Chain A
């Protein structure tokens, strides 16, 4: 079974621009979560989607948004990019069966550099 895929793998953007990152979960997985990884702040939770609905959101400004499609694929968008948004953005998927906590499987990440 194919793992979590993320596109693109690398991006270079300029301050003020916006960017869209894509994530395809493992087949059959219905929950998709996004995390930001930086040397200073470590791994931080951005948001989680299940059945096209955002169920949980981390402490990030409104410039960070996401969505999930009916096939469980997800996108996240960052508008008005700032230098501090430079990070590795990781997507994770999980099966999410009823009454069970499932492990999350991560993609390789998208490395975003803002100049």
Chain B
């Protein structure tokens, strides 16, 4: 079946450091890919998406490129802030049945 694998956390960084969270997927067909972020005590917020190979999703300084050849969708941010501390989830979605398949989540802690 479909699956998503993320690097395990926690990832601890200093403010203004570069962030990368690796995400790879296994799926048949051509899924859409997403990054969601969850702040403490809250639901999931959509961070960015890409719907086809070589698409780049971007939002709030975060970027991820849909790489079909490596089945990856790594999340990057050039300069993190304390407010970026959260849990980040990579997910895939296929049209049939509207079911999101999530990775295990990566906790990011940014220290001042």
Question: Is A90 touching B101 in the complex (CB atoms < 8 A)?
Answer: no
Question: Is A101 touching B100 in the complex (CB atoms < 8 A)?
Answer: no
- If A55-B97, A101-B51 touch, whether A42 touches B44 (CB-CB below 8 Å) is no
A55 to chain B, nearest CB (A): 6
B77 to chain A, nearest CB (A): 20
* Chain B: interface residue total (CB-CB under 8 A): 24
In angstroms, Cα B21 to Cα A18, docked, is 39
CB < 8 Å neighbour of B100 from A55, A104, A108: A104
Question: Is A92 touching B100 in the complex (CB atoms < 8 A)?
Answer: yes
The stretch from B12-20, B60-68, B78-86, B88-96 touching chain A is B88-96
- If A42-B104, A42-B105, A101-B93 touch, whether A33 touches B99 (CB-CB below 8 Å) is yes
- If A43-B102, A108-B42 touch, whether A56 touches B93 (CB-CB below 8 Å) is no
Cβ contacts under 8 Å, B102 to chain A: 42-43
- If A101-B32, A101-B94 touch, whether A106 touches B44 (CB-CB below 8 Å) is yes
Question: Footprint of B on A, CB under 8 Å?
Answer: 4, 6, 31, 33, 35, 42-43, 45, 48, 50, 55-56, 58, 90, 92, 94, 96, 101, 103-109
Question: Footprint of A on B, CB under 8 Å?
Answer: 32, 34, 36, 42-46, 49, 51, 89, 93-105
Q: Which 7 A-B pairs have the closest CB atoms?
A: A56-B97, A43-B102, A106-B44, A106-B43, A108-B43, A101-B32, A45-B99
